[in-house]
Structures are given as C-alpha cells and as structure tokens.
Amino acid sequence: MKLTDREKILAFASLCLLVLTVSYYHYRLKAAGAEEPSFVIENGDVAKSDFKETQPAEEEGIGSAIYVDIGGAVKNPGLYELEKGARVKDGITAAGGIVGNADTSQINLAKKLNDEEKLYIPKAGEQAPVVATGGPSPAQTGPVSIQNGSKEDLMRLPGIGEKTADKIIEYRTAHPFTALEDLKEVPGIGEKTFESLKNNIQL
C-alpha cells in the first residue's frame, strides 16, 4: 500500500508528538526523583550549622578575683588580690602571716572573704571590729587602728578629713605610734580633737 504525501506528513507529525510526549514524562520523572537527595543534603547543612553555633558556649571559661584590705596584727598590712572563694586564713597568709601579739581567738579562719571587705586581725587585748553594712560609722565597726588603719579607716573618724588622714599616715611612717596620746603630735590634732577621737581609736 502506497501512502500519499498527506498521509506521510500526518504519520511523521504523530511520531514527533509521541517522542515529545515520552521525553516530557521522562524529564518529569527524573526531576521528581532528584528532589529527595536534594532535601536530605539541605537537612544535613542545617544540622552542621547548628552544631557550629552551639560549640563556642562549651568553651567559655570563668575567672574572677576579689580585693581585700587586710590590717591589724599581720606582718604586711595592705590591699591584696585574692581568688574568689578565699578564706580568712588565705588572707592572713597573703599578708605575711600574723605577728606575735595577734589574737586569733576572735577570728573565724574558715570564713569566706568578699570583694571590698576589710579584714582586721586584733591584737591581744583588742576587740575585733564588728563590720556592719550600709555606711557604717566608727562606733559600728569598732576602734580604728591609728598605726595600721588605712586612709579610708582614718577618714571615718569624727573630724578627720583627707588632709588630716594623710598627715597621720605621714607622721606614723616616720614616728610609729607607741601610745594613743602620740596622735596629738600630728599637726592639726590638738587636745580637743584627741578627746573626741580617743574612744574610737586604738594602736
């Protein structure tokens, strides 16, 4: 049977349409099959990113220190930097240890020290200062040592300002106090001032 030209054209067109249809469905199936691996890879990337973000938190470190003013019957009174959690015993060791006339029976050697605390080791016959909170006065904290007290300690005394405190420290450096009355030798401190101080001071 011989096909006419028209029939040949229609057959060719039908064949082309069939090829296009098969190619289209093959492409759709291939594209649909590629989605699953792509989704798995994306999930893997997210999990990896989350791990990187949480890792630095595990590397954080904590370090701190406290500063304590140590005075009284210790070899080297002064301001000391101690590790957080240090106890009274550690503070005394940092200050060179106690001197021979120290009275440690009034001190709790196991007590933990706090930042900005004043640690005073009383001598024999002295009363250990009772440290209060919220702007303590000399009467609340106990007698101030004119020989070992810091500038801030001296300035808590009634009538003693910054300049007079500096004069006391300058005088005792050259002439250590041996009696409370020696305080009257400091320029600016007369009999009247001494009388107002004598109940709040000690050697």
- Per-residue pLDDT, 115: 87
Give the tens place of pLDDT for each residue, 67-87: 999 988 899 999 999 999 999
For tokens 């009388």, the residue is: 195
Q: Does the pLDDT of residue 132 top 80, yes or no?
A: no
Higher pLDDT, residue 127 or 23: 23
- Contact by Cβ (8 Å): 190, 175: no
**What distance lies between CA 19 and its chain's CA centroid?**
77
Q: pTM higher than 0.85, yes or no?
A: no
N- to C-terminal Cα distance for the chain? Answer: 137
Query: Taking phi first (over 0 means left), then psi (-120 to 50 degrees means alpha), and beta for anything else, what does residue 136 get?
Result: beta
Q: How confident is the model at residue 50 (pLDDT cuts 50, 70, 90)?
A: very low
